[in-house]
Amino acid sequence: FVFEAGGRCIQAEYGALTNDTISVLNSQLSSLNEISSISGIAKIVGPGKLSVRFYGVASLAGSADYWILDTDYDNYAVVYSCRKQLFAHSVNVWILTRERDPSEDIVKEALAVLVSQGVSLNPLTVTNQSGCSDA
């Protein structure tokens, strides 16, 4: 189950619930041009480490560990997740930015974090953020 598959205008909103719990709301325009969203909760389990669990059908997958590899607190955060599954494992990486169209310098800085941590840049997919409403 990958929420982002085929979507565009993907955005994530986070909010503090308690000292160690964060609300998560991911939304997108689906491949059918319909707004879809998924919500969940993230628990802080250590410095830069979260355990994220989504609600609904996605809850069947259980929780996933998200590691914040780096952030400059103003422009970007680089997030890594590796998860063992029955016969394989999955690796996900997100470069989260505050702007839909971040500067080339911000993207290069975030990519350099992945390279310095030995994370492969292949395949890395850029989310289509064109024609998005910022409402």
CA distances from 24 to 48, 112, 118, 120 (A): 16, 26, 27, 26
CA distances from 84 to 1, 58, 119 (A): 14, 16, 17
Per-residue pLDDT of the chain in tens (135 residues, 90 and over written 9): 466 677 899 999 999 999 999 999 999 998 888 899 999 999 999 999 999 999 988 888 888 999 999 999 999 999 999 887 777 788 889 999 999 999 999 999 999 999 999 999 988 888 899 888 864
Counting every residue written for the chain, the total comes to 135
3-state secondary structure of 27: strand
Q: What CATH architecture does domain 64-121 belong to?
A: Beta Barrel (2.40)
Task: Read off the tokens for 78.
Answer: 């680089």
* Reported pTM: 0.87
